[in-house]
Structure 1
């Protein structure tokens, strides 16, 4: 095959390489800035809790109440559990200097800081591991391994120029920062916030709609937490159906139906079956509501059933018809509610 003549200049590849590196560096700096703000927020919360415990005698019950109130007002943020508030207090106690938090531990994810608090009690050693994590871009698992292998004692306690060092953009630490769930929940751009507001309003509307049907739905909670292998997940809506004698998991998605939603729903259904279902209960039912600009799609799903039940032209199984709303009813209700809500908050449905 004859070689094609290139219209590109000879130094184009080098120019592209430098440009991509600059983009990655700018992305990492932006992520580090957001992470630092999140860590500072946690530090300020922890400092206020610590101050009130010392000055006003706050006890554990106040922390529990604070966690409930914050989770109620900021339901999309994962960081306001009682245990995490306790970590914030310990974090503020361990690092009383705000400037130090900004310059050092604010450069690593919250999960790294929690592990350091748990595993390293000596302040000097804790600082050393934090600096090394920044310098070499350690992931959380690598950090844990280095602590467990006593790397600090084996290498000495010399501090490097960590404050002037960015972790490499492709390092494990950079990837951890980009994917950190605490940080991504902390970011709320205006467009995303409006879409989330609409989604929350539709979830509330579907809850009221199902309860008003009066056919056996008993509301268990929204953003209902389930813990699997130590990690917390939140179900949009959880009901118990007293006539069917089973749990019903409901997830609402903004946008077109994606195959991954079925996998997520199967995980939730399996978790509810394993964690909440009584031996006398029937298998848990999953209901996925997807709303896009073109069409609202409803899917009923049962655990261990490979063919989706109730997608598009499918119908609710005969044994459920008298107790569950039809797909047509749900689609119509969701569409009418969305239209009204969009008009109210002036959101483009696309």
Structure 2
């Protein structure tokens, strides 16, 4: 009977949820144990701070005493991690039960407090797995968002202290599509890139960011007897707007921008409901000239965004160079005014 099936399904869900909660609780207790061990080692170090290399002696001594009884989880390298854990996160009450020890180990690699704050907030908000967090760190998500936003805005959106009001607050440039497994040396048709995105839709949604859901591929639209096809259509519940993506495997042209503007206008006038915000258009292109984008579109427009795609993970230096370039451009503009 349907009622019996519903009952069984509900009980299975309760069991599954309880198991997940138990696993998280155990992992959090393990994380707290490592923190307290790190704190105790740090306190002992402080007492012998006048002795050279006392920290190295302590970790070596503790590993020799603990590893035979408690296993490789208490090797010298692990004990050094416990000490580093306390130094990076010195307040026990600030540790979040939603984060696993594996995720804290990833966060300890970051140099800046604001980087750690950002990734902690995003991990909790999006329920990222350790692998997803690792991918976002290695793809330099924080630095990519800084290319078109200020630090305070990026952190505020991550912590849910403000809702994004501008597409650029959540859309990245460049977008990193290394998960498509396409070789950057090869030439691709737009349909090849589109097909690869659909085949890796879950990863692409993660790269797009918060609040995105897939709507359509090659969406057919009719305009006075003419037929057009929109590459990809998404919806973003945070922006409360449709998001249209046009893929261009060549360098961006003003004709491409005009085509996307037409699709955006169509969605605004035909598809958009009264309570929804204006449609966002993203030109996902192999390369672009920002000046062409700037002079093709009206000043202060916020509906069309050009984002270059990369088929490999950029280095941190490449992104920092881009950030510095943006800052220099901003300073120069302010000086001219």
Determine if the TM-score, normalized by the shorter chain, exceeds 0.5.
no
Alignment TM class, shorter chain as reference = 0.3 to 0.5
TM-score, length-scaled by structure 1: 0.39
**Greater RCO, 1 or 2 (C-alpha within 8 Å, sep 6+):** 2
